[in-house]
Structure 1
Amino acid sequence: MTIHVINPNSSAHVTQGIDRAVAPMRAASPVPIVCHGLAEGPPGIETQAHVDGVVAPLLARAAMLEAEASAFVVACYSDPGLAALREQSARPVLGIAEASILTAMSLGQRFGIVSILSRSIPRHMRYVGAMGVMDRLAGDRPLELGVAELADEDRTFARLQEVGTALRDGDGADVLILGCAGMTAFRAALEDVLALPVVEPCQAATAMAIGRVALERTRQEKTGCD
């Protein structure tokens, strides 16, 4: 059995970054953790059309993995197909946006989201609103860098520092969320620079998946009472 982390875009660079981000968690997991890309997806998921377009191939890939799956993680910050995959699968299904928000609320009172682009923010606002936690959101600010541009580490980290500082000092965020799976490499360094907790969503969702697998094992154990 395996926790399958599915990146719904076709970028090998992003999938490799996700794999590196969750690698330290493998020692704590009762089952293997395997990261996948989605060849049918775009190089980066940056629009609502991209989000909608990857749902069908994502569901098809998950169906192929269902028999050997312990849990699924949808590794895109728009959580594409999350509800549909939960309906389709008998396994726990975690979305990185939902998991990161829940994790952030356990680390601070008001969270800030670092988005890739301005056009990402309306999608995030709809999601935060649907979760009913708008009063815990300090702000959502964009880097104005596309997914492919995140590979320029110097430029990306400079923008992360600028935007993260604005969320902390201007918006009052006391915990930050990296709002794209392409930002995995920067969590620790940004946390050090800003002196705030920084949530990397793929790690947050994978940690929840590990917890769900462990919880399921307790249900399967036969226990006796005196």
Structure 2
Amino acid sequence: MSGAIYVINPNSTERVTRELDAALAPLRMAGGPAIECVTMAKGPPGIQSQRDADGLVPDLLALAASLEDAASAFVVACFSDPGLHALREQSRRPVLGIAECGILTALTLGHRYGVIAMMRSSIARQLRYIGAMGAGERFVGNLPVELSIAEMADERVTLDRLVAVGRELREARQADVLVMGCAGMARFREPLERALGVPVVEPAQAAVAMAIGRVRLQWGRSLG
């Protein structure tokens, strides 16, 4: 099968790209499309504001354009889905965003979903996006762990914070499925799911799983 699924980390933190690459390992298979994770070197270290998300779009489009001929699909691996619609206009390939795919996947796993945000400053942006998607009816809220990308390198602190926030969404908000609201959380999905006893969606995995289906079935735009 020709062409790779390019998973673009729009921030410049290589550790996030490595974690994405590890999280996507179960989706690599014989006969399937290659899955390549790339870092956008010109991006901010972390995407924590609407300004960060909006400001990186020209560089994202330029990077995707340079990969177009080698790609079978693109995944924008930031929970803000920056540049998603612009890239869909630019590219002939399927383009998926991890927030959109993560939320849509959650709706298949439970009735009420909550989002674990990275920072409090992310919440308004996520609320706008969920509203724009029309996915608010079964949404019970988003709560932050209040850790930066750099602070999430401490695995014990990060997992403890994720469990505390996830427990509040489950018990106080009655969420029966959770979505991780940051690509940098990938390595915590399985321990978090075990700790809370509810499905936890890692959105990059959700997006790449959808991308594989789009590529294999050739749904959407021409892959030629």
* TM category, shorter: over 0.9
Letter matched to residue 180 of structure 2: L
> Which residue in 2 is equivalent to 1:69?
71
Select the residue among 8, 11, 27 that pairs with 2:10: 8
Work out the CA distance in 1 between the residues paired with 2:139 and 2:47: 23
Q: Secondary structure at the match of 2:24?
A: helix
Partner of 1:25: 27
Distance, in Å, in 2 between the alignment partners of 1:29 and 1:65 is 21
- Whole-Å Cα distance in 1 between the matches of residues 50 and 200 of structure 2? 26
**Residue by residue, what CA displacement relative to the aligned partner does 1:11-65 show, whole Å, maximum 9, x if unpaired?**
0100000000001100166211000001000111111111011101100000000
* Aligned match of 1:131: 133
In the alignment, the residues of structure 2 paired with residue 55 and residue 138 of structure 1 have an alpha-carbon distance, to the nearest angstrom, of 30
- Extract unaligned runs of 5+ from structure 1: 221-226
Larger mean Cα displacement after TM superposition, 30-39 or 208-217:
208-217
Q: Which amino acid aligns with 2:80?
A: S
Check if 1:58 corresponds to 2:42. no
Residue 141 of structure 1: SS of its match in structure 2?
A: strand
Q: CA deviation at 1:121?
A: 0.4
Q: Pairwise CA RMSD of aligned residues? A: 1.5
8 Å Cα contact 1:29-1:210 kept in structure 2: no
How far apart are the structure 2 equivalents of 1:208 and 1:40?
A: 27
Rounded Cα–Cα distance in structure 2 between residues aligned with 1:31 and 1:96 = 18
Picking from 132, 140, 146, the partner of 2:142 is: 140
Secondary structure at the aligned position of 2:29 is classed as: helix
**Gapped regions of structure 2 (runs ≥ 5):** none
Letter in 2 for 1:155: V
- How big is each residue's C-alpha offset from its partner over 1:149-183, in whole Å with a ceiling of 9 and x where there is no partner? 11111100000010000000000100000000010
Matched, 1:204 2:206: yes
Q: 1:78 aligns with which of 66, 73, 80?
A: 80
Rg larger in structure: 1
* Aligned match for 1:185, one of 184, 187, 197: 187
Selected match of 2:160 from 154, 158, 161: 158
> Secondary structure at the residue paired with 1:3?
strand
Aligned length: 220
Q: In the superposition, relative to structure 1, how do residues 84 and 75 fare at CA in structure 2: closer, same or farther (>3 Å)?
A: same
1:223 maps to none
The residue number in structure 2 matching 1:224 is none
Query: Which has the larger displacement, 104-113 or 24-33?
Result: 24-33
Match of 2:97 in 1: 95
The 8 Å contact of residues 30 and 213 in structure 1, kept in 2 or not, is answered as: no
The two structures have a TM-score, normalised by structure 1, of 0.95
TM-score in terms of structure 2 length: 0.95
Q: Which has the higher helix share?
A: 1
Q: Is the 8 A contact 1:121 1:140 kept in 2?
A: yes
